[in-house]
Amino acid sequence: MACTSTRRSPELPLPAIASPAIAELQAQLAALQHENHKLRRINDALIERVESGVTRGNDPYAAFQHSVVLAEQVRERTDALNQAMAELKAGNHLLGEARLRAETAHRHLIDAIESISDAFVLFDEQQRIVLFNSRFKAFWAHSRVRIIAGMRLAEVKRLMTANGLFSEETRGQPDEPVLYRLQNGRWLQVSERPTQEGGRVILFTDITDVKLSETVRREQAVAQKSHLLQRAVDNLSQGVAMVNAQGVLELWNRRFLELSGLAPVAAHRPFNEVIADSELQLLTPASRDGNGRLIQECEQRLSDGRVLEIRTHPLPTGGYVNTFTDITERYQHAEALSESERWIRLITDHVPALIAYLNADLVYEFTNKVYEQWYCWPRGVMLGQSLREAHSEQHYQRLEAYVARALAGESVTFEFAETNINNQERYMLRSYVPNRLANGEVVGIFVLIRDITERRRTAEALHQAYQNLEHRVQERTAELTTLNDQLLREIDERSRVELRLREAKREAERANLSKTKFLAAVSHDLLQPLNAARLFTSALLERREPVANAQLVRNVSNSLQDVENLLGTLVDISKLDAGVIKADVAPFALSELLDNLAAEYCQVARSEGLELRFVPCSVLVRSDIQLLARILRNLLSNAIRYTPKGRVVLGCRRRGSRVSIEVWDSGIGIAQDRLEEIFQEFKRGDVQRPDQDRGLGLGLAIVEKIAGILGHRIQVRSWPGRGSVFAVEVPLSATAPKPLPCLEMSEPMLERLRGARVWVLDNDAAICAGMRTLLEGWGCRVVTALSEQDLARQVDGYRADADLLIADYHLDHDQNGVDAVARINACRPSPIPALMITANYSNELKQQIRERGHTLMHKPVRPMKLKIAMSHLLGQATSG
């Protein structure tokens, strides 16, 4: 049997190669040789017996016949033996080729591990050394230990410790690499991984340069964080003062000095000494009122008339932070409202008529002074009592039918005889006017009662005089006619008042319907896909892509950010009429707005087969950049919508102290008699591109409302069949805008996100996909779920380890995220910090989430704010 041999490395033994098929062939060959040998011996014995002639009768013939059979068997066995020899020869050839390939692969393996820049060592399933490279052997160059194949892993680790190769060890999680610090000051990272056969592979990586770079980066991050913190505090509208556990003032801003009237303060002064130099009172977490209760906030009126709100917030390190807010304007508004309420009460109290208001449960919510005096009730006692409780049962039964008609939505006026405090019978004219909501529901009744006793008595006196004094008919008739004319005029006046009331009511209903449709256009369903798109584009921006793609994604992200600002403005438009939202007027370069709009709408116009021409302008103006952008967006969108072909032009004209921003189009134009109508809500052009969405008809109505808030004048000129021009005049600014601060994430904040275990609960699959893409780009380990049941299935019934839970407030089947978080934390030994995301801006929801201790973010989610909020929550969990 042929075999080959190859020179092997003394440190890397090659295991023997055995083939089960070849061994079986060898065993069969040996058995055939043994049986052939036996047949030969039998044949030789028979031939010898025949030749000796000692047989009798027919024995020679039988022996000969038997020998022939034996010869045939010998031939068959010989053929089988020859075939086995041939198969054995072929097997030996294959065995040689296999051994050659194994030795070649072994040599390639040796070359591969020698080319690794790290130290490498391989152990088999008995934890004995099989392979190692020269870099691993170099670790022992200065020791008397000789590393050879076959040494156990435990022995190697013992020798490493005994020979003092490593002076310091740093361990992380069980599956994470172990860091060692060498005696010469260098650092090694040791990574262990199991093999499929049960052995282990160990890599030793020199990370000294990485550690030094990390130290320098951490020091730079701390310095930058301190600088950014001071800049952020200086830009707060509130005064801020941070005091350490020893009572020393460590951090403050300029606003604190302005509100307190202090000159620049030296660092590291006791806070009580600093406050003593001002009018402000000292408030700490330990401050108490006259009843011994802790005080966390108070209001203080200064000598110059300003009112400050002072709050104190304890810090985990033992110090505290005080905030100082100027609430003078809010205080004045509250006083004005109180004064207005006092005047309304004063007016109604001096009206001779009885005025009251009953809610749908017939409970008094308002009564004037005359009403309470008529029914002999002390001041304010009737409020909160039902109609049945405030009057006798007989009185209530007389009024019950009229009250039922008013609650059914009918205005009722009737005469009613009553006895006053002096037991005098008086005739009262009662009017019940239902208070309806926009949907027609009656939620209360306005009650107006007037004393018409004198009128009744006059009529009765006229009737009696007519019967008894017939000769004075003419005189009494004239008087009666005069009174009748007065009554007719009064009835006519009442009719006109009722007509005006009905018209005002219809106008209010139209306004409510307009608001309802308006808010429906920017509801939660519109914010959901926008939020998902914002998450996807933010994730794309943070990936390392070619420059061209990055610029394209950045343009998309800028457009989405503009859409976010647009939707935020649309949501707030409904509050403009109430005066809740005010314009944030500030100077800015007009090119910042127009360049972005031109770049965005150039693509929109091109997609519609139009040309957008833009004339740049670099003047400084004073306006609210967000609201002005909304005006120009609506004008550009309308121009593209109603221009079948041709071009749209965006440019400016200088007009004295103002600049006119104009949008020209070559569209269908507007008739002269419709120039005023187009600014009404839900009014749309009759002719436009057939493939376009008609919209809600709110664009120009919103333009007019925003222009009224900003104090800008809107002008429009149009030529039917030739085009239109819309212009908005904006005042110029003599002062340059303040540069916006650049906010960046510090390295420690990013470190908290890497490896963080985050659960995301949202009933929108696109939001889940966007969240996963964005958070995994930050290094988080993310689990997304569309429901509580889906999340429980993925995380072992909420028992898996987690660092943060992000939940949407609106879930399927009338569920909400606040209750879902409570149920999830109830199933865990310790609660998970929760971040609640919603498009609901109500104060009730904010208060509810604040009471639960969760963090609230509104949609659409800005990635930078999300990253900061997550890092803050993860930092709190780590410090806690």
Closest CA to 300 of 311, 289, 291, 292: 311
189 sits in which H/E element? strand 187-194
Please provide the DSSP assignment of 453-471 as one string: HHHHHHHHHHHHHHHH-GG
How far is it, in rounded angstroms, from Cα 315 to Cα 79?
99
Using CA atoms, how far apart are residues 439 and 419, in angstroms rounded to an integer?
A: 39
Q: Judging by beta carbons within 10 Å of its beta carbon (0-12, 13-18, 19+), is residue 245 exposed, middle or buried? A: exposed
C-alpha 156/C-alpha 633 separation (Å) is: 73
Task: Give the pLDDT score at 730.
Answer: 93
Residues paired with residue 104 on neighbouring β-strands, in sequence order: none
Give exposure, 174-210, as e/b (b: 16+ Cβ within 10 Å).
eeebebbbbeeeebbbbeeeeeeeebebbbbbbeeee
Question: How much is the pLDDT for 727?
Answer: 92
Q: Judging by DSSP bridges, how do beta strands 834-838 and 855-858 pair with one another?
A: parallel
Say if CB 839 and CB 861 are below 8 A apart. no
What is the mean pLDDT, run by run of 10 residues, along the chain of 880 residues? 36 42 70 81 75 57 73 80 80 78 77 76 84 76 74 77 59 67 73 81 80 78 71 77 85 82 80 83 83 85 86 87 87 81 76 85 87 82 85 86 90 85 81 89 89 82 72 73 82 82 74 58 53 64 58 60 57 54 80 86 87 89 86 88 89 90 89 74 54 54 81 89 90 73 52 88 88 88 92 89 91 89 90 88 80 85 83 77
Q: Using alpha carbons, list the distances in angstroms from residue 708 to 387, 583, 697.
A: 46, 10, 19
CB 708 within 8 A of CB 749: no
Residues found in the chain: 880
Tokens representing residue 43 in the block: 């044949």
pLDDT at 11: 41
**Per-residue tokens: 810:** 């609106």
**Position of tokens 């403005």?**
569
Of 755, 880, 759, 878, nearest to 817 by C-alpha is: 759
- Taking Cα atoms as reference points, which of 363, 382, 360, 364 lies closest to residue 373? 382
* Radius of gyration, CA atoms only, the chain: 48
Q: What are phi and psi of 546, to 5 degrees?
A: -60, 160
Is residue 617 a contact partner of residue 659, using CB atoms and an 8 Å limit? yes
110, 131 Cβ separation under 8 angstroms = yes
pTM: 0.32
Strands 239-243 and 320-326: antiparallel
Contacts 24+ apart (CB under 8 A), 709-716: 709/576, 709/581, 709/582, 709/583, 709/627, 710/583, 710/585, 710/623, 710/624, 710/627, 710/628, 712/623, 712/628, 712/631, 714/631, 714/679, 715/660, 716/670, 716/675, 716/678
Which token pair is 284?
């700490």
For CA atoms 363, 366, 371, 376, the dihedral sign is positive
Calculate the alpha carbon distances from 396 to 370, 390, 400, 402, 447 in Å. 20, 9, 6, 10, 14
Residue 819: the pLDDT is 92
Cross-strand bridge partners of residue 204: 119, 190
Distance, in Å, from the CA atom of 456 to the CA atom of 729, rounded to the nearest integer, reads 64
Distance CA 325, CA 259 (A): 8
pLDDT, position 464: 76
As a whole number of angstroms, the distance between CA 784 and CA 484 comes to 80
Is residue 290 exposed (0-12), middle (13-18) or buried (19+ Cβ within 10 Å)?
exposed
pLDDT of residue 15: 40
Cα separation, 475 vs 453, in Å, equals 23
Beta-strand relationship, 757-761 and 781-785: parallel
| Contact present, 188 and 204 (Cβ < 8 Å) | yes
| Total H helices, total E strands in the chain | 24, 28
C-beta atoms surrounding 37 within 10 Å: 9
What are the tokens at 238?
């509130």
**How far is the C-alpha of 410 from the C-alpha of 433, rounded, in Å?**
7
- Gap between the Cα atoms of 816 and 818, Å rounded: 6
| Per-residue model confidence (pLDDT) at position 66 | 73
Q: Are strands 586-589 and 611-614 parallel, antiparallel or unpaired?
A: unpaired
Cα separation of 351 and 838, whole Å?
49
Q: Which of 433, 446, 448, 441 is nearest to 509 (CA)?
A: 441
For residue 189, what are the CA distances in angstroms to 168, 172, 204, 215, 806? 12, 12, 6, 16, 35
